[in-house]
Chain A
Amino acid sequence: MNTGVAGTASRSLASLRAVLLVLFALTSIGPLLVLVVQSLGGAWFFPALFPEHWTLGAWNLMKSGDALPGALGTSVGLAMATAIVACTVAIPLGRALARLRGWPRHVAAAAAFLPVAAPPLALGTGLQVMLIGLGLGGSAAGVLIAHSVPAIGYLTLLFLGTFTVFDARVEDESRTLGATRAQTWRRVTLPLLRPQIAEALIVGFLVSWTQFALTLVVGGGEVRALPLEVFAYVRAGQDQRAAVGALLLVIPPAAAFVWLRWAARRTVVPFS
């Protein structure tokens, strides 16, 4: 009798688990599949399961003088520049914060966390005022600065963690063996931190890549990055173009995920 009750409970649990897995798959992969079908579908109306016909028409826009390729180029350029600027600032900043002790360290870490936690719209509104004052409102340089603010926050926190556990004895050893500070950085620290720097560049790129509110508010519609273009297509009901743009937005995060999984398996560095 007891065995029967236990068996039923076990079967119910297994069914619940299966339902949760299906729901998870639908919510995580489902939207992407819809985008793929939408970008290749000629006309697709509810309740049809698939489009009436298949076409590469929307993808061919990438080869034409459409706004989408230009927006893609702007986004790639902004994201790469943001990653480099943020990394350049965050490495020395994270290292300096890692050397602090007690309340200064907590205050500094909180300051780095603020632009990460603040809603982009709020951050953008504040930055817009400052950047207009500097004559950078509506410019790519202004948007780059705006994107760099949260990216520096993210990367500073990342390097704070990295340098907190980094074994600084390798640098001491290098110095007493005759290497200058610059040689130690180039020949020892940089090679050892290469995986972390690559990771940081990816994170910095993605922080910029996914910015919508900051680009809109600071760029004032003059700087047409990919998220803004996709949003414009959605508002205009151009579903195929929106789907192509949205899929382009997904590619870098997906590639980053795959790379990070691969890199995590081969990273061996001297951290205490």
Chain B
Amino acid sequence: MNAMASGHALHLDHLSLPFGDGRGIADFSLSVAAGERVVVLGPSGAGKTSLLRAVAGLMRIDSGCVRVGAVDVTGLPPERRDIVYLHQSPVLFPHLSVAENVAFPLRVRGQRGQAVHARVLTALSAMRLETLGRRDVGTLSGGQRHRVALARAIAARPAVLLLDEPLSALDPTLRNDVRAAIVAAQEEYGPAMMLVTHDLDDAAFLADRVAVLLDGRTAQVSSPAQLFSHPATLAVARFLGLYQEIPGRIRADGGVDSPLGLLAAATLRDVAPASGPVVVVVRVEELRVGSPCEGVAQGSIVAFRQRPRGATAVVRLADGGNGFELEATLSASEPSPTIGDAVGVSLDPRRSLVFPADTLPCST
């Protein structure tokens, strides 16, 4: 949250809007405080872009209300909402220079002269573009185009900034550059900022809070840390893709019978209250490959996978596990195993979560 925030918050109340051939987005509610960055995270095709366009006034909504501060802007045209929407790839006006692009929102508000010049210079400086004011926008690099679009938004000083997948299709170096520019843009005057992305890294880096959009509904709103450590539902956990799922059945005493054996209730962080089938989810890095006599279950390695943060092994559990396969992290301190080696799999049950198998959220 930005300490400089002085603008208005964005409130979305029970928004429903059409999207694709399905039922669209239903009953979406979210508030973004001035100076706050909220990331709407969802899979491709979830309707994230439609949501932003609807908030910006560029597409109709079926019901609900958009408020900026205390003002209901639902029925207002885009130019009167005090909301700037930035497209996924920066859309600059090709017939205007960099400085003229940045001055555009001021010119259309009837501002002229030195005041415009000063605001443009401030916005260009904030985005480290001071030397490019006279450049033709067609000659800019991808990162520079993003920064010009952000500088233009800063010059407009809207209460709300909407960014549609601002980092997709950028190489890693450029991503860092644009991420920094987004943070700098907000620090300039503290607007309420709402971004949409399907990228977990971007969400973790940029968000004060994350709203997960699944099947047209808000599945979870929380801090990034809370989201990644404690997904609210099995569907959210599956979307995050960070977890190994282990099927099981809850017992009367609260323990879970699983291919890894009996996981005691006392050591499971969350236990679904109902009896019947459950899914235990545990982050892959919490499942570790060790020597055959260690761990909660034994099996043999059937494949290796290289992940960005290290190698993992696919382990087929021995008889007790009915041939169940799971992915576990290789320990750097252990000698490198080979395919077919017998190994043990250990996990810290306190860091695993239990959900009913029907994906309904479990209470803790």
Contacts and interface: CB of A to CB of B under 8 A. Distances in A.
Interface of A: 167, 169-170, 172-181, 183, 187-188, 191-192, 268-270
A172 B78 CA distance: 8
- Report, nearest first, the 8 A-B pairs whose CB atoms are least far apart: A175-B78, A179-B108, A177-B105, A176-B85, A173-B91, A191-B95, A169-B91, A176-B78
B155 to A, nearest CB: 9
Given A177-B84, A177-B152, A177-B156, A187 B108 contact: yes
28 contacts: A167-B91, A169-B87, A170-B91, A170-B93, A172-B56, A172-B85, A174-B104, A175-B57, A176-B56, A176-B58, A176-B78, A176-B84, A176-B158, A177-B79, A177-B108, A178-B79, A178-B108, A179-B79, A179-B108, A180-B77, A180-B79, A187-B107, A187-B108, A191-B95, A192-B95, A268-B94, A269-B94, A270-B91
Interface of B: 53, 56-58, 77-79, 81, 83-87, 91, 93-95, 104-105, 107-109, 138, 152-153, 156, 158
A44 to B, nearest CB: 53
B79 A176 contact: yes
A183 B158 CA distance: 18
Contacts of B105: 177-179
B156 A173 contact: no
B101 to A, nearest CB: 10
A183 B108 contact: yes
Given A183-B108, A187-B108, A268-B138, A176 B83 contact: yes
Contacts of B95: 191-192
A270 B95 CA distance: 9
Contacts of B156: 177-178
Nearest to A270: B94
Could you tell me the dominant secondary structure of chain A's interface residues? helix
Contacts of B104: 174, 177, 179, 187
Contacts of B53: 172
B78 A192 contact: no
Contact of B58 (A175, A188, A268): A175
A173 B87 contact: yes
A169 B57 CA distance: 13
A130 to B, nearest CB: 40
Contacts of A269: 94
A170 B86 CA distance: 11
Nearest to B84: A176
Contacts of A191: 95
Contacts of A170: 91, 93
Contacts of B152: 177
Contact of A172 (B58, B94, B109): B58
Contacts of B84: 176-177
A179 B118 CA distance: 21
Contacts of B138: 268
A177 B58 CA distance: 12
A169 B86 CA distance: 10
Given A167-B91, A175-B79, A177-B156, 5 more contacts: A172-B78, A172-B85, A174-B108, A176-B83, A192-B95
A74 to B, nearest CB: 37
A173 B56 CA distance: 10
Nearest to B82: A178
B149 to A, nearest CB: 8
Nearest to A186: B108
B333 to A, nearest CB: 53
A128 to B, nearest CB: 44
Nearest to B149: A173
A31 to B, nearest CB: 42
A157 B53 CA distance: 30
A173 B79 CA distance: 10
B90 to A, nearest CB: 9
A173 to B, nearest CB: 4
Nearest to B156: A177
A191 B78 CA distance: 21
Contacts of A183: 108
A169 B91 CA distance: 7
A167 to B, nearest CB: 8
A229 B57 CA distance: 57
A13 B78 CA distance: 65
Nearest to B155: A177
